[in-house]
Every structure is written in structure tokens, then in C-alpha cells.
Structure 1
């Protein structure tokens, strides 16, 4: 996927316009994102630039295409510069008052009930209302109105933070709201109602007020209407990354993403959005990896796209590849702190203590009061088992930004380590409030309730996590273990079989997407712990043939994949693995992360002797005794003596098997 010289010049100019337009409206994060993307474009050929440039005026300096808007902006230039300077100094109330003074706001909001009643009537009733008229709102430009209303929203967020209690304090229930949202929502609904013509259509807009209205509606939990306005915004001005992020936050399922994608503008921003949204939904497939590689061919040094690729590896459980991708981002952008909290999670799971120490030191030197820096330092203290210090830094991150998802989830993990289950549950709940797609928080809630032996609650939360990560074996293993403790062995078997399928799915996906040699070797290997649990539940259901087949399969994991395939369950051993996909009560990370603990050797050579395989060997030895296969029982008992697990019982079993064999020989002779 490449661009011609003309397309490259056009893309460059478009991104420059996006940076300027977003900066003018104080959308600094969107402006930064567009500027970073612009900077990642390769340098254009001088001849190509000269051919396309000529004597024409650069689009940045071109006047507004709407003459009425251009005239208003020219008239308001002095006021606009004053308001923007107030916003830059974080004097949000003064910024809003430049264009929307308090007396005007009071008169407008006082008329809001009339507007509400009029909006419920038919077209004629709405037209006759004195509220929706040309004099209802001040005749100012869209840019000035956006800046004033956005300043109101930011002032409300500032007051919300001031009114909120300390993190996890007695009054910190998460119930404090932004009191300016209602006023901003009403004014925007008035503005759109005022512009609507008799046929219900709107004249051309700049797209920013639609973005602001969608953002406010999303904060008010009016998701469907918010999505409608945000999609209008990206059609009108697709280069505002904030609009795309708001749409991403409103999408909770892959099916919803597919449905929304049909109604989006077809341009490069749609491809970037789709890749980012798919990564946010924990998707991993060769098509997504290919799409990211195509985008990186256009923006080869884009920190955002490289981070998406690293997170794709992370969600695919290829932690080594994820570490390498983050190393590349850090080498290209050593002062960039965005998403380094995810990098610290990977280093934590891989137990890279020196690297994590270096990363914590680097973040502290750049900006110790960024939430990402606090999370990285907290992870370092957690790796040192200094859990109180880790909690202190996670709380500091949340003091700086209460919507910092990583800090809520990781603080819950630390409270679990400190045996403070009530604080852990509250931390996980707050993480879910921030982002309901965070499977780690749902899984953490399940773990915490399981510690409290509240298995029904634990099962519900585990299922939520499994619904978000349907191909993660740990999720289904947790569901199966919980069902086992509740005595629901039949459902538990289905869940654990799905865990075995999930392992093979992740390994094959990693191999296809990233050509991981190790993944190919692991595809046929299974977790002996899961196999032992399945066999034990079959045993409790008095299904000895199925139990024996899975015990043999568990034992075969010591030798590796080839032996496992030869010793797998026969066609008569109960449900095949594929049928576990139909787990009837399915809905819709663990504290250590996504590191996987199946016990498979890194070279695909098998697990060697483990506690699970020794338990399986003991069961098979006893089964052989019941079946009067004393040679097999004696051999397995001798192996158990060498394993060093349950040696005394193994010796007794071996003596009994030998005595039975001697007795049988005496009877024969």
C-alpha cells in the first residue's frame, strides 16, 4: 500500500489543516495526534513539491469556504483571541464568558422547557415557538460557539475534580457529575434545532459542534444519539481524532464495530480508526496485522500505529514480539510517555526487572507527574513485592487522572496481594466504570469473589471476562474451575474443553500473524492442569473411559506434542473438543497479565514431570490395578517413585501390584 507523490502532498496538506483547526479550537490532544502522524510521513521529493505547489496559496491560509462564517470570524477575531488566551491559561469560565456571558446563559436556559415542549410537537408547533428563532442564540461563528461551550465542559470537569473526595475515600463513590453538561447539551440542541430547515435537513457545518454534542451525550449515557452525532462529525471533518476516539469508546462488541463501519466515510482515517478499535476490542487476526502493516508503509515512524502493533502482539499473547515493538517505539520517540503503562505491564509479566527499573527512571526524569509515569513506577514496586508503595503510586496516578484505567485495575491487583478484598472489589468496579471492555477488571472481580467463596458471583464475572476474551484459555479455565466448585461438572467440562481450544487458537493466530516459530510447535500441546481437571470431573460423573482418555492425554504432555496427538481421547471418549463451543450459559486477566502458564516447554519438547502429570499417573496406576493390568500398574508406580510425588503411596501400590503378579504366576503354574 503506497501513495503517489500527488496523494502524499494532499495528505500532508490535509494533516496540516487538521493540526491548525484542532489547535484553534483548543483540541490539543487531537492536534498532537495529527501532528505526530504528519511528522511520520516520509520526506517528499523536492521536484514533486515544486510541481504541486506552484504559486497557489497554501490551504492553511485559505479563507473559510462559507462566506457568512468567514465574515463572522473576521468580526470576532479580537474576542476569539482573548477567549483562546483565557483557555490556554486554564481560565475556562472567563473563556466561556467572552461569547456567552452569564446573563445570556440564564435567559437561554430559562427558556429551555419551552424548547423541550416544542420539540415534542409537530413541525408547525416547533416553528411557532418563540424559543427556536434567529434571536434565540447569539449570532456568532461556529468556531467561537464551540470554544465557549467546550470551555464550559472543561470548567465543569475542573469543578468535578475539585468536588470529588480523595481516591477511595469514604465519599468517593464516583457519583459526582459535571454540572455543566446539562447547560451545554441544551444550548447545542437549540443550535441544531435552529438550523434545521422545513424538510428536516441541516446546512453544511464544520463538524466540531457535532463532535462536542456527541461527547456530551456520551457523558450523559445517551449512547445511540451520541453515536449518531459523532458519525455526522467524522463525515463533515474526518481529521478530528477525538471524534473517532469517542466512537471507539461507544463500541463494545465486534458486531457493533462491523455495523458502524458501514456508515463511516471511506478514507484513510476510517482504516486507522478500524485498526485502533479492533485492537481495543482485543481482536487478533492476520487481516488486522496486515492492515496495520499497510498503514505503517505510509506512516513508517508513527508512534501511534507502532503502539497499536505492539498491543496487537500483546493481546495475541506474543509478549516477546510486543516487547520488541515497544522497544522500537521507545527508540524512535524516547520522550513519549503515552502507552508506556502497557509496556510496563509486559515487562512485569516477563519479569524484566532491569528494563522496568530503567523505564521507571526514564519516566520519572521526563515527567514524574504524568499518570503513565506513576503506573510504570507502581509496576516496578509491585515487581519488588513492595505492594504498599505500588498502591501509593497507583493512587497518585488516579489523583492526576481518575479515568486512568490501568491504575484502577493494577491497584485492584495490589489489594488482592495485600488481602484487602473489599478495596480490591471497589478498584475493579471503578475500572469497569471507566471501560466496560476491560476484561482484566472483570476477571479480577471473579478472582476476588472466589477468594471470598462466593462462587455464583465469581462465575458471573468470569463469564463477563470470557465474553470479552472468548479465545483466552485463562478465562475459560476460570469458568470451568468455578463450575467444578459449584458441582456443575458437565458444564465445567465444556468450559475447560473450550480452554483447550482457545490455546490452540491463540497459537495458530500468532503463527499466522507474526510468523512465530515457537507458536507452531505449541499448537498441539495442551495444559496438563486443564486435562487433569477434565479427567477428574469425568471420574466424578462415573465416566471412567473418558476419564482414562484424558488422564492419558495429560500424562502424554510430559513428552510433547507428537506423543499427545497419538494418545489423545478416542472417538468414544465423550464430547469432542468442538462441542464445548456450545456452552449454554455463556454470556455475551488475571493479576499477572496475559503470560499464559500452560507449562509447555519453550522448544515444544513437553512439560516434563509436573504435579498434574503425577496425579494423572497415580490415577492411571490405580485404574490399572482395578482392571487387573498389574504390569502397567507396577510400571506407573515405579515412575511415580522416581518423580518424587506421593512416593509412599506409590511404593505401596508397587508392592501390591508385584504381589498380585506373583500370585497370578503361582496360580498359572
Structure 2
């Protein structure tokens, strides 16, 4: 249950604790000076999670080789140069503009940086103009996620002139350029390369890593990106982040955690990802324990509490605990979208989820949970809109794709349902529920070969329960009866051997009936009679079926004997 770090050597370079603290402190200052508060918070939390005194790493395969020494020196000299490059007049303007930026007077912040040319001042000016327009847009209509920021074309034109003249080799400038390009051209195939270039130029802007992750839709893309990343410890944090984003199995997550040095056992980012990983894999008890441990060390935390509240909601007997969590979130910050999601798990759900979306239109949990609530009250149109907004926010969210599949299945629009379940199963290829739903729809549409594949994939999944296993084996056996009698017989035999199959179950009747007929056709009298006798023992129509099979067997044998005499 607890994080098991330091169990295997890592190919990623981690600095010794004291040097790591120095690197992270300097990186936090750099991100803070540019107003990148999300990155600053991530770095500061990573820094705070390190021990006060370095632990003994004599048994770990971690040494301060020349490449690490060079990285530390390069980082420190780059940061010092960035600070001293500002002449006094420009530095004074930077201080004034940053003070305006901090109180959200973005237009004033941008105005006083117009004549400044240092990368830091250029970034803050561009970022201020971008945020100024964004703050106007947020008060606009809520029903469109693609609100256009009118400043972007002008800002990008200016930045492209710097890019052409090679004045934009700054990781922060590359980051804001890529963010704006993403908003203008969300389907641009070069976005991944732009964010990759940003993190290669500056490793410690976590926001750039998150944006890079949003450009990666599958494990093949991730593998390609990881091969192009530097061996910095930030790449391992990113690898762990993507393991959760791409719904990886728990063992893959555990293997990545094992590469972190033992000093990172209390890292809150790792703890949060562990709790989310358990949630994604529907291990709600372990997820609850992980979130409880996280809240014990950070009791006023609101980040990711939307996920925790959903865990408590799913575990029905935790309503008192959910109520306490909701009150805690309100006490900490009642205007956070996570708070609204926690409140929405209790009462007046839809109104709270809508409030969450008024605060943050990209709140994935709010869109998905609101879709669930609309399904509950049978408002399918609103549910479809909610789920579609969710997949716009994050196409890697299997729950929203699955929700769309369920709605269209309820509406008897099977081919739409199949499409959405296919999208969901592509994200969760080891989830038995997805394959069972897909296979049932394929069977309904007489796509029997695809149905066979679907039920087979469901049976290969490790998370399939006993009831679904029996259901899938029964369906598969019946489908194979027309395509491959040998396989059908083998599956029926495996099913009848199961201890958890009730003695009077219909599956036993169907299995013995098929096997009796199967052996009758093959002329195997002893096996046919064995299954016919068992079938007869069920009584009722099963007894009549057994009599018919035995009668046909005798007639077949008699016909064979007559033919033998005639010949």
C-alpha cells in the first residue's frame, strides 16, 4: 500500500538531496518570477517532501558523476545570468509589472514592459496580455469551451519573428508560444514537438510537462517522446504522470515508483498519483487509504479532492466521511471547482457541478459527474452534452466515452454505442466491462465474429468477476456452436467444471444439452448418454430434451446397423 521507492537502479539522474534542494529552490524562484504559480507550487511541494538530512544512499546506484556536476553548474550559471542580465531600469520596470501581475492587473503589467527585451520581461509581457484577454473571456458564455482569445494571433506573430531570428531559445517563451498555438490550432501535429522543445530548454517548468502529456494519446507516442527526453529526474516524474493518465496497470506504476530514490517516499505528487491510480483501477478501498494518508500530511488540501469525493461516493457507507470532506473543502476555499464537486456528491448535485464549471470550464470531474447525474434523472440529451464536453477537455478520460456508449445503448442506437465503447476500450484494453458491453452489442447486431473476439478479450481480463466470467463463457460457447463445435464443447466443459456454477443453473442445462447433442453427432454413445442422464435429472423441459436426444441417438445407431447389414 505504501510507496516503495529505491528498490531498483534508475537510468534517470537524481542529484543528492542537498544539491536537489538547491536546484528546486532556484527553479521555484524562476517560475514564480514569471507568474507560473502552478509550476511553482509543484516544485515547492517536491522540495518540501525531501528529508531535512540526506539518507544513506551507499547501497543505491546513485553517484554524483561528472554529468550531474555539469548539470548543476549549468543550471546555476543560467539562473544567475538570467537575474543579472536585467539593467537597473529594466529591472525596476520588471518589479513594477510583476506587482501589477500579482494583483491581476494584467493590462498594466504588459504596458510597462513594452520596451523591455530580456527573455524574462518578454515572457511576462506576453503572458500578461494573454491572461488579460482570458480573464475577459471567462465572463462570457459557458456553453463553448473553444472561446477565442483575440490577442493570440498578434502575440504569435510577434513571437514567430523572434523564432525566425533565433531569439526564442528560452524554455519559458517556447512554452507560452506552444500554449497559444494549441488554443489557436488544437489539432496541430507539431504541438508535441513544441512542448518537447520547451522542456528540453528548461527542465523545471512542470506546466510544460503537463501540456506535453496532453499531446500524448497512447503508449506508442509516449515511448517515442521518452526516447527524446533528457535523462533528468523530471523525465521520470513525467513518466509516472503519464502512467496514470494513460490508465496503466498498477504493476507498471509500481515499477516506475521503484526507480525513485528512497528520499522521495513522502513526495505528495507520488502519493496523489498512487491514489488516482487505484481510483482508475476501481480499487476504491486502496484509493481511500492513499487519500487519507495524503490528507493527514496536508489537511487543507483541495487539489484532487474531486476524485477523493467520488471515491467516497462510490463506497456508499462513507456518507459521513464525504460530508466532513465537503465541509473541509468549503472551509478551505468555497470557490474552487473541486469544492463544488465534493458538494455535488451530497445533494443538489447538478447545481453544484454547474457552479464548478462556472469557476473552471475545463473541470473534467464536473463534466463527467454531471453527465452521470443527468443519466440518473433520464435527461439523455443533457447527459450527452456533458460527456462530450468531458472528452473535449480530456480525450483520455475513459469514463466519459463509456458514459456516451451507455446512453446510446439505452437509446437503442447500437452503432453509436459501439463507436463510443470502442473508444473507451482503447483506453482501457484490460477492462472486462468494456469488452462485455461491446461483445453484447456486436451479438445484437449479428456481428458474431466480432462478438466472439469481444467475449474472448473479456475472459482474458484480470479484473473480470465470477458472474461475468460465467456470462461470457456461456455467450462464447453458444456463439461457437455455429462456427466451431469443437471449441464450443471445450468451453461448455470448462464452464460445467466451475465450482461457483450453481447446481440448478440454466447454464448447466444448456451445457449438458449441447454436449449430449455434440457427442450424439460424433457417434460417441457413452459420452452422449452421460450428459443426457444429467440433463434428464433437471426435470421439466430438460427431461424431454434428454429423451429426444437419446431417441435420436438410438435411431442413428439403428440406421448405421441397417446400412452395415445391407452392405
TM-score (norm: length of structure 1): 0.70
State whether residues 496 and 511 of structure 2, in contact with CA within 8 Å, keep that contact through their aligned partners in structure 1. Answer: no
Counterpart residue number, 2:366: 407
Counterpart residue number, 2:340: 374
Counterpart residue number, 1:349: 314
Counterpart residue number, 1:182: 153
Within a 5 Å distance, the mapping from 1:228-377 to structure 2 comes to: 228-284=193-249, 286-295=251-260, 297-354=262-319, 355-377=321-343
Counterpart residue number, 2:96: 82
| One of 584, 594, 616 as aligned partner of 2:507 | 616
Q: Deviation of residue 261 (structure 1)? A: 1.1
In structure 2, distance between residues paired with 1:338 and 1:619: 53
In structure 1, distance between residues paired with 2:436 and 2:99: 56
State whether residues 442 and 464 of structure 1, in contact with CA within 8 Å, keep that contact through their aligned partners in structure 2. Answer: yes
Q: Establish whether residue 538 from structure 1 lines up as the match of residue 474 from structure 2.
A: no
Counterpart residue number, 1:26: 35
In structure 2, distance between residues paired with 1:63 and 1:462: 49
Q: Deviation of residue 500 (structure 1)? A: 0.9
State whether residues 301 and 332 of structure 1, in contact with CA within 8 Å, keep that contact through their aligned partners in structure 2. Answer: no
In structure 2, distance between residues paired with 1:392 and 1:633: 61
Q: 1:549 to 1:357 in 2, by over 3 A?
A: farther
Q: Deviation of residue 60 (structure 1)? A: 11
In structure 2, distance between residues paired with 1:65 and 1:537: 71
State whether residues 445 and 458 of structure 1, in contact with CA within 8 Å, keep that contact through their aligned partners in structure 2. Answer: yes
State whether residues 509 and 542 of structure 2, in contact with CA within 8 Å, keep that contact through their aligned partners in structure 1. Answer: no
In structure 2, distance between residues paired with 1:624 and 1:481: 24
Q: Deviation of residue 496 (structure 1)? A: 1.0
215-224 or 411-420: bigger deviation: 215-224
Q: 1:5 to 1:404 in 2, by over 3 A?
A: closer
Q: Deviation of residue 393 (structure 1)? A: 1.7
Q: Deviation of residue 24 (structure 1)? A: 0.8
Counterpart residue number, 2:49: 40
Structure 2 segments unaligned to the other structure (5+ residues): 1-5, 56-72, 554-567
Q: Deviation of residue 63 (structure 1)? A: 9.3
State whether residues 340 and 372 of structure 1, in contact with CA within 8 Å, keep that contact through their aligned partners in structure 2. Answer: yes
Q: Deviation of residue 81 (structure 1)? A: 2.0
Counterpart residue number, 2:565: none
CA displacement, residues 171-214 of structure 1 (integer Å, 9 cap, x when unaligned)? x2434222222122112112222336xxxxx7xx4421111111
State whether residues 340 and 356 of structure 2, in contact with CA within 8 Å, keep that contact through their aligned partners in structure 1. Answer: yes
In structure 2, distance between residues paired with 1:412 and 1:443: 11
Structure 1 segments unaligned to the other structure (5+ residues): 47-57, 101-137, 166-171, 197-201, 382-388, 508-521, 560-605, 640-649, 665-669
State whether residues 250 and 277 of structure 2, in contact with CA within 8 Å, keep that contact through their aligned partners in structure 1. Answer: no
Counterpart residue number, 1:107: none
Q: 1:73 to 1:414 in 2, by over 3 A?
A: farther
Q: 1:225 to 1:491 in 2, by over 3 A?
A: closer
State whether residues 364 and 394 of structure 2, in contact with CA within 8 Å, keep that contact through their aligned partners in structure 1. Answer: yes
Within a 5 Å distance, the mapping from 1:110-121 to structure 2 comes to: none
Q: Residue 99 of structure 1: SS of its match in structure 2?
A: coil
CA displacement, residues 357-384 of structure 1 (integer Å, 9 cap, x when unaligned)? 3322332332232111221222344xxx
Q: 1:351 to 1:336 in 2, by over 3 A?
A: same
State whether residues 630 and 658 of structure 1, in contact with CA within 8 Å, keep that contact through their aligned partners in structure 2. Answer: no
Q: Deviation of residue 537 (structure 1)? A: 2.5
Counterpart residue number, 1:17: 26
Q: Residue 461 of structure 2: SS of its match in structure 1?
A: helix
In structure 2, distance between residues paired with 1:361 and 1:163: 30
State whether residues 73 and 141 of structure 1, in contact with CA within 8 Å, keep that contact through their aligned partners in structure 2. Answer: no
| One of 97, 103, 110 as aligned partner of 1:96 | 110
Q: Deviation of residue 637 (structure 1)? A: 6.4
In structure 1, distance between residues paired with 2:387 and 2:260: 35
Counterpart residue number, 1:216: 180
Counterpart residue number, 2:62: none
In structure 1, distance between residues paired with 2:228 and 2:135: 35
| One of 540, 545, 550 as aligned partner of 1:651 | 540
Q: 1:369 to 1:652 in 2, by over 3 A?
A: same
Q: 1:139 to 1:25 in 2, by over 3 A?
A: closer
| One of 84, 97, 105 as aligned partner of 1:70 | 84
State whether residues 398 and 407 of structure 1, in contact with CA within 8 Å, keep that contact through their aligned partners in structure 2. Answer: yes
Q: Residue 415 of structure 1: SS of its match in structure 2?
A: helix
352-361 or 209-218: bigger deviation: 352-361
CA displacement, residues 285-325 of structure 1 (integer Å, 9 cap, x when unaligned)? 63531221442722222211111122233334433322222
Q: Which has the higher contact order (CA 8 A, sep 6+)?
A: 2
Q: Deviation of residue 623 (structure 1)? A: 3.9
Q: How many residues end up aligned between the 2 structures?
A: 518
In structure 1, distance between residues paired with 2:219 and 2:15: 35
State whether residues 303 and 329 of structure 1, in contact with CA within 8 Å, keep that contact through their aligned partners in structure 2. Answer: yes
Q: Establish whether residue 550 from structure 1 lines up as the match of residue 515 from structure 2.
A: no
CA RMSD, 1 decimal? 3.4
In structure 2, distance between residues paired with 1:657 and 1:59: 84
In structure 2, distance between residues paired with 1:327 and 1:70: 45
Q: Deviation of residue 415 (structure 1)? A: 1.3
622-631 or 211-220: bigger deviation: 622-631
| One of 355, 374, 395 as aligned partner of 2:354 | 395
Q: Deviation of residue 44 (structure 1)? A: 1.9
